[in-house]
Amino acid sequence: MPNVRVAPSILSADFARLGQEIADVAAAGADFIHVDVMDGHFVPNLTVGPVVLKAVRAATRIPFDVHLMIAPVDPYIDEFVAAGADILTVHPEAGPHLHRTLQRIKAAGAKCGVALNPATPAAAALEVLGEVDLVLVMSVNPGFGGQTFIASQLAKIEALRRAIDASGRAVMLEVDGGVNPDTAPKVVKAGADVLVAGSAVFRGGKSAYGPNIAALKGGK
Ligand code: DX5
Ligand code: ZN
């Protein structure tokens, strides 16, 4: 599967050794570090904010792909970019003015993405396809790692692949949730080019991270 990138979600990392875990997956072949930011309001879980992002940013030079599951989102954009976010991805439901939020992310100096929950139609991203660097299709309901892949999202990935190709723009198509060596080939066949994976990367200890990432890329 050529040109597929893997973004390990640190949600499944050992948070007591977070900086080292990030360095280890980067050395093992990760393309991005995926940071899941949750506020206990937009999603039923709490994780980390810009303070932690800033603390671990020096662990690697690869891009930090920051998935914001928070509402409101606009007041925190500058802080996340200052902390080292390279890509900031937001959900349309997080605020009343998605287009404005995307402009604010770009003005702050980061790339921007739009994330679609399983019940959010592809159309929510199509209206801003000309503005974004990335579209994220959630293949689980956001909030927790280790959930089961929702196969109905494959049709949405296919529809978005067609729309991105038709647009002629270089928009990444990322899939997040339940991605493992069984589901990854289906996701890539449907048109995704960035795979987020938490539990499928951070299992088996440090020596397994390289093979785990390679397995998602179709290596073994
Ligand atoms: C869920 C997060 C995902 C999650 C993926 O809300 O956005 O990034 O951590 O975990 P796995 O790969 O274990 O499904
Ligand atoms: Zn995520």
pLDDT digits (tens, 9 = 90+) for 172-197: 999 999 999 999 999 999 999 999 99
Q: Which of 196, 201, 202, 209 to mutate to test the pocket of ligand 1 (most atoms within 8 A of CB)?
A: 196
Average pLDDT over residues 131-153: 98
φ/ψ of residue 83, rounded to 5: -80, -10
- Looking at residue 2, its pLDDT comes to 59
Q: Which ligand is nearest to the CA of 147?
A: 1
Q: Which ligand is nearest to the CA of 200?
A: 1
* pLDDT exceeds cutoff 60 at 1: no
* pLDDT exceeds cutoff 80 at 219: no
Catalytic residue among 36, 65, 133, 193: 36
Going by CA atoms, what residue is nearest to atom 1 of ligand 1? 142
Per-residue pLDDT of 5-40, as tens digits, reads 999 999 999 999 999 999 999 999 999 999 999 999
Average pLDDT over residues 112-136: 98
Euclidean distance between the first and the last CA atom of the chain, given in angstroms as a whole number: 11
Q: Looking at the 3D structure of the chain, how many domains does it have? A: 1
Average pLDDT, the chain: 97
Q: How far apart are CA 192 and CA 173, in angstroms?
A: 5
Answer yes or no: is the C-beta of 198 below 6 A from any ligand 1 atom: yes
Per-residue pLDDT of 34-86, as tens digits, reads 999 999 999 999 999 999 999 999 999 999 999 999 999 999 999 999 999 99
CA distances from 171 to 56, 131, 157, 161, 167 (A): 27, 9, 13, 9, 9
Q: Which domain holds residue 54?
A: 5-216
> Would residue 133 show up in a list of annotated catalytic residues for this protein?
no
Residue 17 token pair: 């050794």
Are 138 and 116 contacting, i.e. CB atoms less than 8 angstroms apart?
Answer: yes
Answer yes or no: is the C-beta of 36 below 6 A from any ligand 1 atom: yes
Ligand 1 mean position, distance from CA 144 (Å):
6
Degrees, nearest 5: CA angle 171-51-69: 45
> Would residue 36 show up in a list of annotated catalytic residues for this protein?
yes
- Looking at residue 92, its pLDDT comes to 98
Answer yes or no: is the C-beta of 109 below 6 A from any ligand 1 atom: no
Query: Which CATH number fits the domain that encloses residue 177?
Result: 3.20.20.70
- Looking at residue 143, its pLDDT comes to 98
**What is the pLDDT confidence band of residue 3, given thresholds at 50, 70 and 90?**
confident
* pLDDT exceeds cutoff 50 at 220: no
- Looking at residue 170, its pLDDT comes to 97
Task: Return the DSSP state at 161.
Answer: H
Per-residue pLDDT of 78-114, as tens digits, reads 999 999 999 999 999 999 999 999 999 999 999 999 9
Q: Which ligand is nearest to the CA of 195?
A: 1
